């Protein structure tokens, strides 16, 4: 089965999303430690300060402010940011060759990885850049 043709607009819309998704699925394979697993309930884990210290190790701290508003951008964890930059460089290098040859397969792989991590069928997953895009597509 051949991949459906992509319009330039659709390719541009999905490229950013795909690189972020690939970054998230590859991030911990690049030497970053996994978050500790816990037998605590979600309520107990939410109050576990040691767990949240381990989560905070994956983020750069901003001096001078505590940003509680993420209306424009969400902060990437450091391993995701690292993979995102590497994948953006790869796409920038390969350009349309990547878009025509590998993008569709990578997109499907990202959906499958998210579905597997959530233990749901891939048909249940819709990856979008933001809530507005999700509502309109």
> Residue 70: what pLDDT?
72
* 82 within domain boundaries: yes
This prediction has a pTM of 0.63
* 68 within domain boundaries: yes
Per the structure, the count of domains in the chain is: 1
For the cut 90, the answer to whether the pLDDT of residue 93 exceeds it is: yes
Range of the domain at 12: 8-136
* 92 within domain boundaries: yes
* 107 within domain boundaries: yes
* 2 within domain boundaries: no
* 46 within domain boundaries: yes
* 72 within domain boundaries: yes
* 66 within domain boundaries: yes
10-55 residue pLDDT tens: 655 555 555 555 555 555 556 777 877 888 898 999 999 999 999 9
- Give the residue, 92 or 38, on which the prediction is more confident: 92
SS3 per-residue string spanning the chain? CCCCCCCHHHHHHHHHHHHHHHHHHHHHHHCCCCCCCCCCCHHHHHCCHHHHHHHHCCCCCCCCCCCCCCCCCCCCCHHHHHHHHHHHHHHHHHCHHHHHHCHHHHHHHHHHHHHHHHCCCHHHCCCCCCHHHHHHC
- Give the residue, 32 or 86, on which the prediction is more confident: 86
């Amino acid at each position: 089965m051949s991949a459906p043709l992509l319009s330039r607009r659709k390719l541009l819309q999905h490229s950013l999303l795909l690189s972020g998704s690939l970054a998230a699925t590859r991030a911990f394979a690049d030497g970053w430690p996994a978050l500790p697993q816990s037998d605590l309930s979600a309520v107990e884990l939410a109050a576990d300060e040691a767990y949240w210290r381990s989560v905070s190790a994956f983020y750069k701290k901003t001096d001078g402010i505590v940003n509680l508003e993420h209306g424009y951008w969400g902060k990437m964890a450091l391993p995701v940011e690292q993979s995102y930059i590497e994948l953006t460089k790869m796409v920038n290098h390969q350009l349309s060759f990547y878009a025509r040859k590998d993008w569709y397969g990578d997109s499907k792989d990202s959906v499958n990885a998210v579905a597997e991590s959530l233990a749901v069928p891939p048909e249940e997953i819709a990856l979008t850049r933001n809530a507005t895009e999700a509502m309109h597509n």
